[in-house]
Amino acid sequence: MSGLPTLRIATAGSVDDGKSTLIGRLLHDTSAVLDDQLRAVERASRRWGDGGLNLALLTDGLRAEREQGITIDVAHRYFSTPRRSFVVADSPGHAQYTRNMVTAASMADVAIVLVDARRGVVEQTRRHAFVAALVGVGRIVLAVNKMDLIGWDDADFRSIAKGLTEYVEALPAPPPVDAVPISALHGDNVVALSARSPWYDGPPLLELLEQAARRPVPSVGARLDVQWCIRHGASDYRGVAGRLTGGPLRVGDPVSIAPGAMATTVAGIDRAGRPLDTAEPGQAVTVVLADDVDVARGDVVLGVAGVDRPIATTEVCADVCWMTETPLVTGGRLLFKHGTRAGTATVTGIDHRVDVGTLERSPVDRLELNDLGRVNLSLSTPIVASPYRVHAESGRLVLIDAADHATAAAAMIHELEPAS
**Statement to judge: residues 318 and 370 lie in one domain:** yes
Counted domains in the chain: 3
Q: Is residue 193 part of a domain?
A: yes
Evaluate whether residue 217 is within a structural domain.
no
Q: What pLDDT was estimated at residue 96?
A: 63
The edge-to-edge listing of strands for the beta sheet with 177-181 is 75-80, 85-90, 6-13, 110-116, 139-145, 177-181
CATH number at residue 343: 2.40.30.10
Beta carbons of 257 and 240 less than 8 angstroms apart:
no
Strands 223-231 and 300-303: antiparallel
**Does residue 292 sit in the same domain as residue 337?**
no
The string of pLDDT tens digits covering residues 394-408 is: 999 999 999 999 889
Task: Please tell me whether residues 69 and 178 are part of one structural domain.
Answer: yes
Supply the CATH number for residue 139's domain: 3.40.50.300
335 and 404 assigned to the same domain:
yes
Q: What is the pLDDT along the chain (420 residues), one digit of tens a residue?
A: 445 689 999 988 887 888 888 888 888 788 766 566 666 666 665 665 555 666 666 665 534 444 444 444 557 888 888 889 999 888 775 666 677 778 888 889 999 999 999 999 998 899 889 999 999 999 999 999 999 999 999 999 999 999 999 999 999 889 999 999 999 989 999 999 999 999 999 999 999 999 999 887 777 889 999 999 988 766 788 899 999 998 899 999 999 999 988 999 999 999 988 999 999 988 999 999 999 888 999 999 999 865 667 889 999 999 999 988 999 999 999 999 999 999 999 999 999 999 988 999 999 999 998 899 999 999 999 999 999 988 888 999 999 999 999 889 999 999 998 765
Instruction: Assess whether 72 and 198 both reside in one domain.
Output: yes
With beta carbons less than 8 A apart as the criterion, state whether 291 and 264 touch. yes
Q: Are residues 316 and 298 in the same domain?
A: no
Q: How many helical (H) and strand (E) elements, i.e. helices and strands, does the chain have?
A: 7, 24
Q: What is the per-residue pLDDT for 54?
A: 62
Q: Is 152 left (phi over 0), alpha (psi -120 to 50) or beta?
A: left
CA separation for the pair 128, 17 (Å, rounded):
13
Report the distance separating Cα 379 and Cα 393, nearest Å. Answer: 18
Judgement on whether residues 98 and 10 belong to the same structural domain of the protein: yes
Pick from 258, 281, 303: which residue ends a domain? 303
The reported pLDDT for the residue numbered 212 is 92
Task: Please tell me the predicted confidence (pLDDT) of residue 63.
Answer: 40
Q: 3-state DSSP call for residue 298?
A: coil
Task: Confirm whether 152 is domain-assigned.
Answer: yes
The answer to whether residues 168 and 34 belong to one domain is yes
Residue 386 placed within a domain: yes
Q: Residue 181 domain-assigned? A: yes
Choose among 333, 341, 324: nearest CA to 410. 324
| Complete DSSP assignment for 123-165 | HHHHHHHHHHHHTT-SEEEEEEE-GGGGTT-HHHHHHHHHHHH
Cα distance between residue 78 and residue 87, in whole Å: 5
pLDDT value at residue 357:
86
pLDDT at 64: 40
Helix (H) or strand (E) holding 106: helix 98-106
Q: Could you tell me which residues come within 8 angstroms of residue 272 by beta carbon, excluding any fewer than 6 positions away?
A: none
Q: DSSP class of residue 168?
A: H
Q: Looking at the structure, tell me whether residues 96 and 35 fall in a common domain.
A: yes
Q: What is the pLDDT of residues 65-90, one digit of tens each?
A: 444 444 445 578 888 888 899 998 88
Residues 334 and 395 in one domain: yes
Are residue 21 and residue 149 in the same domain, yes or no? yes
- 178 shares its domain with 136: yes
Query: Domain boundary at 303, 327, 348, which?
Result: 303
Determine the pLDDT at residue 71.
43
> Which of 8, 136, 51, 159 is closest to 410 using CA atoms?
136
CA–CA distance from 36 to each of 28, 39, 60, 88 (Å)? 13, 5, 17, 21
Among 283, 243, 278, 255, which Cα is nearest to 394's?
243
**Do the domain assignments include residue 218?**
no
Whether residue 394 lies inside any domain: the answer is yes
Domain of residue 237 covers: 223-303
Q: pTM above 0.75?
A: yes
Residues 6+ apart with CB under 8 A from 164: 113, 115, 121, 125, 126, 129, 142, 177, 179
Looking at the domain assignment, is residue 1 inside a domain?
no
Q: How far apart are CA 379 and CA 318, in angstroms?
A: 12
Query: Which of 178, 211, 244 lies at the terminal end of a domain, its last residue?
Result: 211
Q: What is the pLDDT of residue 185?
A: 87
